[in-house]
Homo-oligomer: A and B are copies of this chain.
C-alpha cells in the first residue's frame, strides 16, 4: 500500500466490524493544496466584519441541525456512544457555535486598548497608540475520538478559530470518518452560503501519524488545536517546535483528575459520594478527559464504607462498548499493569466481557498512599471506566500525594466547610497542579461558559495559559496588532474614536465604552 492510494474504513464498536465506506489517506499534494488555500484565505478573512463571522458560525449551526437524526445515527454507528448522549453532544456543539457567534457580534473580546497622544509630554511627546487582537492565521485542528461532535470537526477548536477570523483545516479522527464528512459538508455549505473564501475550511482524512505531521509542518499553518493522547499530542507539539518558524500548539491530553475525600465529608456521606463518583467515573464508559481516575482519602471506617459502596456499584456495572479496539485494549492493559504492581489490590477487575465487541467493564483498585507514591505508573491516566482509591495514614500522606501529582485538568475536593478551612494548604497546593478546582462536585460535565478553564499544567495540556473550552478558547488563535499614529479613518472600526462597534475598550488605562475625543 503506498501512501497516496491508502484507504481505510470506520469501525462499528458494537459489531466489531469495519463499516462499508472507504476513506482515503490525504496525499502530500492534498495537504499542500488545503494549506495553500487556507493561506490565500488569510487576507480576505482579516477584513471580514464581525457580523459576517457571527453569521457564518450561526450558518454552521443551522446546517448541523438541518442534518437531523442522520448525523446522530451516523455518529452512533461509529462510536457506540448512544443516541441520547450524541443528541446532547450535538446540542452542546450547536450552543457552542452560538456562544462564539454572540461574543464575536458583541466584539469586546478583541481587547482593544487606546493610549491617546500626549503631544506636550516632556522630554518626548507620546504618540497615539491603539491595539487590538487580529486572527493568527490558518489553524490545524485534530479532533478527539471520544467527542465525535463537540471536540471534532465543528467542535470548540474549530469554532474558536473561526470566531477569531482564521481559516481552519481539520484532520478528521479516523474513528469517525463518516460523521466527520457529514459535519464538514455542513461547514462547506455554510462557507458557500456566506460567500467566504474557499480556503476558509478543509477536511483531511488520515490514519498515519505522518499525515498529521505533514499538516502541522506546512509553513502556512500558524497554530494547532488538538485533543487526544499524550503521545500524539506531544508528537505534534515537538514537530511544531522544530519548524523553521515554531508555532503554538494547544494540545489537551487528558489527566488523572484526582478527588480528595476529606474526613468530615466521608463521615457525613460516604455511600452517596461513592455512588455519585461511580457515575462520574463511568460516564461515557470512562472516556472523558475529566474522568476521575484517583480518589484519595484518610484510612478508616468511613473510607472503608466508601470503598465498599464503590465496589458494589462497580460489580453491578454492565460492560459497555468503548470507542474502538485500540482504546478498549489500552484500557484493560493499563488497568492490568497497575493492578499487578506490588501492594495494589484489585477490588473489581475490568476484564472485558467480549473482546471482539470492544466492551469495557468498570474497575476499582485500592492502594496505600505509600504504594501509590512508590509507583509513578499509578499517577498516569488509565483511559476508561476505572478509578484507584488511595488510603492515607496521615494528613502528611495526603499532602505528599498532592505534591506528587502531575499536572491535571481538574482536582476535586469533597469536604465540609470545616474540612475546607482545615485543609487550606491542600487547596493552595492543588491550585499549582490543576486548571480547575471543584468543591463537592464531579469533574465530568465541562460547562461551555465564559469562566470555564479546560486546561492545566503539563501533561494535561501543552500550555496552561489557555483553555480549549469556553469563550476564552478564542485567545489561542489571535494576536495583538498595534497602530501608531494612524488617521482615524484608516483604523479598524474597533479602534476608531467614535467606537462604532460599541465595545469595551481600555482608554488611557480605564475600561469604557465611551468614544474618544477626536
**Interface, chain A (partner B; CB < 8 A):** 42-43, 46-47, 88, 102-103, 108, 113-115, 123-124, 126-127, 129-131, 134, 136-137, 237-238, 241-242, 245-246, 248, 407, 417, 420-421, 424, 427-429, 431-432, 434-441, 445, 447, 449-453, 455, 457-459, 462-465, 467, 472, 475, 478-487, 490, 504, 506, 508-509, 511
In the complex, the answer to whether A472 meets B480 with C-beta atoms within 8 Å is yes
Which B residue sits closest to A132, measured CB to CB?
A: B451
Q: How far is the CB of A481 from chain B (nearest CB, A)?
A: 5
A251 to chain B, nearest CB (A): 10
Nearest B residue to A99 via CB reads: B509
Q: A450 and B124 in contact (CB under 8 A), knowing A43-B432, A484-B437?
A: no
Is A428 touching B248 in the complex (CB atoms < 8 A)?
Answer: no
A131 surroundings in chain B (CB, below 8 A): 451-453, 472
Q: Does the CB pair A428–B47 fall under 8 Å?
A: yes
A and B contact pairs by CB, cutoff 8 A, 25 listed: A46-B428, A115-B449, A131-B452, A131-B472, A134-B431, A136-B464, A137-B432, A241-B241, A245-B457, A248-B463, A420-B490, A424-B490, A431-B481, A436-B481, A436-B484, A438-B484, A439-B485, A439-B486, A439-B490, A440-B485, A441-B484, A453-B482, A464-B479, A465-B475, A504-B511
Check if B479 sits within 8 Å of A127, measured CB to CB. Answer: no
Interface pair A108/B439, CB less than 8 Å apart: no
Task: Give the Cβ gap from A240 to chain B, nearest Cβ, in Å.
Answer: 9
- Chain B residues whose C-beta falls within 8 Å of the C-beta of A424 in the assembled complex: 490
CB closest residue in chain B, given A483: B437
Q: Which residues of B contact A457 (CB under 8 A)?
A: 245
Which residues of chain B come closer than 8 Å to A472, judged between CB atoms?
A: 113, 131, 480
A42 to B433, CA, bound (A): 12
Contact B420 A123, beta carbon cutoff 8 Å:
no
> Would you give the shortest CB distance from A157 to chain B, in whole angstroms?
16
Give the docked Cα–Cα distance between A355 and B244 (Å).
35
CB–CB A114/B459 < 8 A: no
A438 to B407, CA, bound (A): 42
**Cα A181 to Cα B496 with chains together (Å):** 46
A114, A482, A483 interface centre (most CB from chain B within 10 Å): A482
Q: Which B residues touch A478, using CB under 8 A?
A: 465
- Determine the chain B residues whose CB is within 8 A of the CB of A487 once the complex forms: 417, 420, 439
Instruction: Contacts A245-B407, A451-B482 known; list 17 others, CB within 8 Å.
Output: A43-B429, A102-B509, A127-B447, A237-B246, A241-B242, A241-B246, A245-B459, A248-B463, A427-B490, A434-B481, A436-B484, A440-B485, A450-B506, A453-B482, A464-B479, A465-B480, A504-B511
The reply to whether B452 and A129 contact each other, CB–CB distance below 8 Å, is yes
- With the chains together, A480 CA to B454 CA distance in Å? 9
CA distance A121 to B511 in the complex (A): 32
List the B side residues contacting A438 at CB < 8 Å. 127, 484-485
A465-B136 in contact given A46-B428, A447-B126 (Cβ < 8 Å): yes
Residue contact A114 to B465, C-beta cutoff 8 Å: no
B428 touches A43 (CB 8 A): yes
For the complex, give the distance between the alpha carbons of A57 and B210 in Å: 49
- Bound complex: CA of A435 vs CA of B129, how far in Å? 12
Given contacts A432-B46, A511-B504, contact A482 B452 (CB under 8 A): yes
Please measure, in the bound complex, the distance between the C-alpha atom of A441 and the C-alpha atom of B127, giving whole angstroms: 9
- A238 cross-chain contacts in B, Cβ below 8 A: 241
Least CB distance from A338 to B in Å reads 21
A311 CB to closest chain B CB (Å) equals 27
Residue of B whose beta carbon sits closest to that of A492:
B431
Docked complex Cα distance between A480 and B127 (Å): 33
For A134, the closest partner residue in chain B by CB is B431
In whole Å, how far is A268's beta carbon from the nearest beta carbon of chain B?
15
Given contacts A465-B248, A509-B450, contact A437 B486 (CB under 8 A): yes
Shortest Cβ gap from A91 to chain B (Å):
9
User: Taking each of A46, A455, A509, which has the highest tally of chain B beta carbons within 10 Å of its own beta carbon?
Assistant: A509
Q: How far is the CB of A290 from chain B (nearest CB, A)?
A: 11
CB of A283 to closest CB in B, whole Å = 12
Considering the chains assembled together, what is the distance between the CA atoms of A129 and B123 in angstroms? 48
- With A43-B429, A482-B435 as contacts: A451 and B127 at CB distance below 8 Å: no
User: How distant is A38 from chain B, measured CB to nearest CB, in Å?
Assistant: 13
Residues of B within 8 A of A434 (CB): 481
Q: How far is the CA of A47 from the CA of B424 in the complex (A)?
A: 11
Which B residues touch A123, using CB under 8 A?
88
Q: Nearest B residue to A449 by beta-carbon distance?
A: B115
CB distance from A459 to the nearest CB of B (A): 7
Say yes or no: A439-B484 contact (C-beta < 8 A), given A115-B450, A464-B136, A465-B248: yes
Residue of B at shortest CB range from A450? B113
Which chain B positions have C-beta within 8 A of A47?
Answer: 428
In the assembled complex, how far is the CB of residue A411 from the closest CB belonging to chain B, in whole angstroms? 10
